[in-house]
Amino acid sequence: QVQLVESGGGSVQAAGSLRLSCAVSGYTYTGYYMGWFRQAPGKEREGVAGISSNGFTRYADSVKGRFTISKDNAKNTLYLQMNSLKPEDTAMYYCAASGGLYGGSMLDQRNYAYWGQGTQVTVSS
């Protein structure tokens, strides 16, 4: 059974930083996408950053240069380092992993089969 558990969310002032973690267990695919998505109140869930099994990364334009996605295969953990946070980054953040078949955009939630429960990030001005 695949489980993804996020942690690291919280409240921070604008220009601050947070690092989100996603502990992955039961995941046996060797080829995959893993990604971070977010959903603000009243808005649709959007892709923030993705990373493939061979290390390629993709970022939403709104976070390029500020957020960095990475993974530690030894620890089975996905990270999202968020710097220079803005109030508009406030949202519930979810990590996700693809299933056996994947392809297309790493920022498209339709390419992901497994999801965590989310961790809240609140940025105050």
- Sequence-ordered list of residues with C-beta below 8 angstroms from that of 10, at least 6 positions apart, any chain: 18, 120, 121, 122
Averaged pLDDT of the chain: 96
102 versus 39: the higher-pLDDT residue is 39
Tens digit of pLDDT for each residue in 80-91?
999 999 999 999
pLDDT bucket at 77, cuts 50 / 70 / 90 = very high
Mean pLDDT to the nearest integer, 13-25: 98
Give percent of the chain above pLDDT 90.
93
